[in-house]
């Protein structure tokens, strides 16, 4: 699919660029807030934002014509393994926190960032998906669906942080983090299989 200077392509480019910078900022803030509060769900969500930023960077470079198909496939596989590593981290850390009864501090910053993401990500994702389908780009449509899927993680994260902020028990935080694991594993396997099966990339 050739990339032209049509309004749809220009809008997609701006949306992808916005998503890239937003995910970087979101990731840094959530990791900082998670480390300060001892929250595995915030740290996990922040690390996931970094992975999402990598996917956004791949889409951005694709639209700039600066990345080859072979490099895209390698990136997809790397991102897949990163998702699985993140899932393993969440499982181990959550199990540790549950068994040890680790105290999780309330985090106003974490609550604000995750709540904002819950509002922004679905809108951004569906907007990109509609435009990607209009221009006929399956790769960009897949990247948009990944943004939409990220909103589910936002929901788990904001629920876990909100319950703790409202005075709920600390165990809610690692449990909320564990709810992220099935999605992380699925994305990881799809990324790796996409490389092995020669699936379409951006």
pLDDT, tens digit (0-9, with 9 covering 90-100), for 162-200: 998 899 999 999 998 898 899 889 888 887 886 444 444
Residue 128's SS3 state is helix
Low-confidence ranges of the chain (pLDDT < 70): 1-5, 65-69, 71-72, 75, 139, 194-202
Joined together, the tokens standing for residue 15 give 């949306």
Burial class (CB in 10 A: 0-12, 13-18, 19+), 131: buried
Kind plus residue range of the DSSP H or E element containing 68:
none
Fold of 7-196: Alpha-lytic protease prodomain-like (1.20.1510)
pLDDT of residue 137: 73
pLDDT of residue 112: 95
pLDDT of residue 200: 44
Complete DSSP assignment for 104-138: ----HHHHHHHHHHHHHHHHHHHHHHHHHHHHT-H
pLDDT of residue 199: 42
pLDDT of residue 66: 61
Nearest to 76 by CA among 87, 90, 62: 62
pLDDT of residue 111: 94
């Amino acid at each position: 699919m050739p990339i032209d200077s049509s309004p749809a392509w220009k809008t997609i480019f701006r949306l992808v660029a916005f998503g890239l910078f937003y995910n970087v900022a979101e990731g840094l803030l959530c990791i900082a807030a998670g480390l300060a509060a001892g929250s595995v769900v915030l740290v996990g969500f922040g690390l996931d934002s970094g992975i999402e930023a990598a996917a956004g960077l791949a889409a951005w470079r694709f639209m700039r014509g600066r990345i080859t198909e072979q490099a895209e496939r390698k990136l997809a596989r790397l991102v897949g393994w990163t998702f699985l590593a993140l899932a393993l981290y969440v499982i181990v850390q959550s199990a540790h926190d549950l068994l040890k009864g680790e105290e999780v501090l309330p985090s106003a910053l974490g609550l604000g960032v995750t709540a904002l993401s819950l509002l922004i990500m679905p809108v951004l994702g569906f907007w990109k998906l509609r435009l990607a389908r209009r221009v006929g780009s399956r790769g960009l449509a897949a990247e948009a669906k990944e943004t939409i899927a990220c909103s589910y993680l936002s929901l788990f994260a904001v629920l876990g942080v909100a319950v703790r902020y409202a005075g709920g028990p600390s165990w809610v935080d690692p449990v909320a983090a564990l709810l992220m694991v099935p999605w992380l594993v699925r994305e990881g396997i799809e990324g790796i299989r996409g490389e092995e099966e020669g699936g379409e990339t951006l």
